[in-house]
Amino acid sequence: MLNPSVGGERRTPHVEDPGINIPDQTVIKKGEAVHLARDFGYVCETEFPAKAVAEFLNRQHSDPNEQVTRKNMLLATKQICKEFTDLLAQDRSPLGNSRPNPILEPGIQSCLTHFNLISHGFGSPAVCAAVTALQNYLTEALKAMDKMYLSNNPNSHTDNSAKSSDKEEKHRNKVVQLVKALAANSESLISIPDFHTQ
């Protein structure tokens, strides 16, 4: 949990129940949360084994009768992820002293702002990083399925899938830029007061 109770002295009971002691030094401070989010984004982008996971899971679903349904499920999931990241790209939560003009409806913007404030800038970049890792997996899974399909049907043409892969790659790059921008802009959240210690 990013926010300890008043003064950092008490921890949540579920952590204390198993007999785990957490010293005060383990509490994540605002500046550390920003750096952690940036590092987490980088690790998700560069080290998450999307291709290996995709190949492993595709082997479990290699039944030719299942492939069309599975591909449609992967494509639908990619679309949902895109809608989600497009929404996060429109988030205009206050950053330090700056107050960007909102784009989203006040109801959803206030929810995103609340999340950004209580996570000290870690939350949105971390969510974007995790979704980027998921999108990388989905892209690799679709590539592996296309490769599997081509090996089973050598006369097929892939012009449409190549165009689709280019679009997916461009979208993934936009998401990566969003994560980096959120992480870079989050540094100014350090000046936001901690409402939980008042």
Alpha-carbon 177 to chain mean position: 12
Q: Considering the domain boundaries, does residue 184 fall inside one?
A: yes
Q: Considering the domain boundaries, does residue 88 fall inside one?
A: yes
Q: 28: domain range?
A: 6-197
Predicted model pTM: 0.64
Residue 180 is predicted with a pLDDT of 67
Residue 183 is predicted with a pLDDT of 59
Q: Considering the domain boundaries, does residue 1 fall inside one?
A: no
Count of CB atoms situated within 10 Å of the CB of 53: 15
pLDDT digits (tens, 9 = 90+) for 111-147: 999 998 898 878 888 999 999 999 999 999 999 998 8
CA distances from residue 16 to 2, 4, 7, 89 in whole angstroms, order as listed: 16, 13, 17, 38
pLDDT digits (tens, 9 = 90+) for 43-72: 999 999 999 999 999 999 888 888 899 999
How many domains are there within the chain? 1
DSSP string, 72-140: HHHHHHHHHHHHHHHHHHT----BTTB-PPP-S-HHHHHHHHHHHHHTTT-HHHHHHHHHHHHHHHHHH
